[in-house]
């Protein structure tokens, strides 16, 4: 996208300065990357409020974003910590080189520490995160996305949707301490796909509400708008009567173990009696703790490859939602619009109709007549058996009226020729 723009003369953005090889602004020397990160991770207004930089408002924000989006740091020969450009400038090409460039990399609570040869100390929540994020973020790409939001608002922000059932008529989806806002958004999309209207979040890591979740929801805005955050698991399930917890690991707990199909059947029965039900999903990194599973009435274990049983959070919700929608009388195969009618299982006929027996018999007789004329039935005593086989074959086709007419046209053309071929024979 183009990042060129004109700012109003009356709107003056805080000046970007160079300090110790980094682009900064404001009285606290806030890095440009921090501004981009704050406005990308949350909403623009939430980001500006958290930054609290004097003079930095919606009207003065874009020039700061432009600095990053247009990569003006290249000509200024500066970089921000955590930006992919910094590792490129430093010539760090592998994870091994990154670790060597640090004095120490502290993993999680500090019990795991990776020693290097540098002078700086870095931290990471786990080795998996380090492997994904060591090279840094594409802050200039984030800046362009924030500029787009600043100018045009959120993509699909006009899409609202509405719940498909009344309160308590569908199972609640409960996410235990979700770590990534993007995952919450994809879960919301899965919920909207399959009519699960109640999304609950237990202590989301990055807070709530979160604009990144709305972006990832791809239009499932009503799920995001109605989602509720709770401080504890007990608070999130307080109004529910029956809970099923999803897990891929065996637990030493005396609880029913159900497939998604069995769990959904149990929930439908309970909801019909006026009970409220929910499905509890674990954290992206390590699922549910055993003490959390203990709060559930049953376990849901999805049939998977036993050697690779871990599912993405949104995938797990999707599978459960699919089972719920499968038994819903109001479900639709694919989308339904003003110009598209609901479909049902079986052969799609469109505007066509099945051929009548009269039309099929006409095809049989036409084909047999032409075959007789061209000496196909040889020896003659085989005619009865061959004709029976042909009628069986053509009947098994379940042909439509249009298909029968097409076949008769083919038989006529092969027998008599068409156009120039027919005239040549005459």
pTM: 0.56
> Fold for domain 172-326?
Alpha/beta knot (3.40.1280)
Per-domain boundaries in the chain: 1-84+137-153, 93-134, 172-326, 357-425
Per residue in 127-177, pLDDT tens?
888 888 899 888 998 899 888 888 876 555 555 566 667 778 899 999 999
- Give the closest residue to 215 by CA, choosing from 133, 277, 155: 155
Per residue in 327-338, pLDDT tens?
766 656 665 555
Mapped onto helix, strand or coil, the DSSP state of residue 325 is helix
Alpha helices in 157-255 (DSSP H): 181-193, 211-216, 221-226, 233-236
Per residue in 308-330, pLDDT tens?
888 899 999 999 999 998 876 66
CA distances from 149 to 71, 224, 233 (A): 19, 18, 34
Measured over the CA atoms of residue 249, residue 250, residue 256 and residue 258, the dihedral's sign is positive
- Give the closest residue to 175 by CA, choosing from 296, 286, 317: 317
SS (HEC) of 273-308: CCCCEEEEECECCCECCHHHHCCCCEEECCCCCCCC
Per residue in 87-116, pLDDT tens?
999 999 999 999 999 999 999 989 999 999
């Amino acid at each position: 996208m183009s990042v060129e723009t004109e700012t109003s003369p009356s709107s003056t953005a805080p000046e970007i300065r160079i300090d110790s090889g980094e682009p900064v602004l404001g009285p606290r020397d806030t890095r440009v990357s921090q501004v981009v990160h704050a406005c990308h991770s949350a909403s623009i207004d939430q980001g500006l409020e958290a930054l609290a930089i004097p003079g930095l408002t919606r009207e003065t924000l874009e020039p700061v974003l432009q600095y990053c989006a247009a990569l003006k740091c290249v000509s200024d020969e500066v970089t921000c910590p955590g930006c992919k450009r910094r590792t490129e400038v430093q010539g760090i090409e592998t994870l091994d080189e990154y670790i060597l460039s640090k004095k120490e990399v502290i993993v999680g609570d500090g019990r795991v520490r990776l020693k290097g040869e540098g002078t700086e100390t870095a931290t990471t929540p786990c080795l998996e995160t380090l492997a994904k994020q060591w090279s840094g973020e594409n802050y200039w790409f984030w800046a362009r996305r924030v500029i787009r939001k600043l100018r045009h608002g959120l993509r699909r922000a006009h899409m609202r949707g509405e719940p498909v059932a009344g309160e308590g008529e569908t199972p609640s989806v409960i996410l235990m301490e979700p770590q990534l806002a993007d995952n919450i958004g994809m879960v919301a999309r899965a919920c909207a796909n399959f009519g699960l209207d109640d999304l609950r979040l237990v202590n989301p890591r990055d807070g709530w509400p979160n604009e990144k979740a709305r972006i990832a929801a791809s239009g499932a805005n009503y799920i995001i708008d109605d989602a509720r955050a709770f401080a504890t698991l007990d608070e999130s399930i307080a109004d529910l009567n029956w809970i099923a917890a999803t897990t891929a690991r065996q637990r030493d707990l005396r609880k029913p173990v159900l497939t998604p199909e069995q769990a959904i059947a149990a929930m439908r029965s309970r909801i019909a009696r006026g009970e409220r039900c929910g499905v509890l999903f674990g954290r992206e990194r390590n699922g549910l703790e055993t003490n959390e599973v203990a709060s559930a009435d049953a376990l849901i274990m999805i049939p998977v490859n036993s050697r690779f049983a871990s599912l993405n959070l949104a995938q797990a919700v999707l599978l459960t939602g699919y089972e719920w929608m499968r038994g819903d009388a109001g479900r639709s195969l694919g989308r339904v619009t003003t110009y598209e009618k609901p479909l049902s299982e079986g052969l799609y006929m469109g505007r066509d109709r099945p051929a009548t027996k009269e039309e099929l018999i006409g095809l049989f007789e036409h084909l047999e007549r032409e075959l007789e004329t061209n000496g196909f039935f040889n020896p003659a005593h085989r005619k009865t058996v061959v004709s029976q086989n042909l009628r069986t074959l053509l009947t098994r086709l379940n042909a439509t009226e249009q298909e029968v007419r097409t076949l008769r046209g083919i038989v006529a053309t092969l027998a008599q020729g068409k156009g120039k071929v027919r005239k040549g024979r005459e």
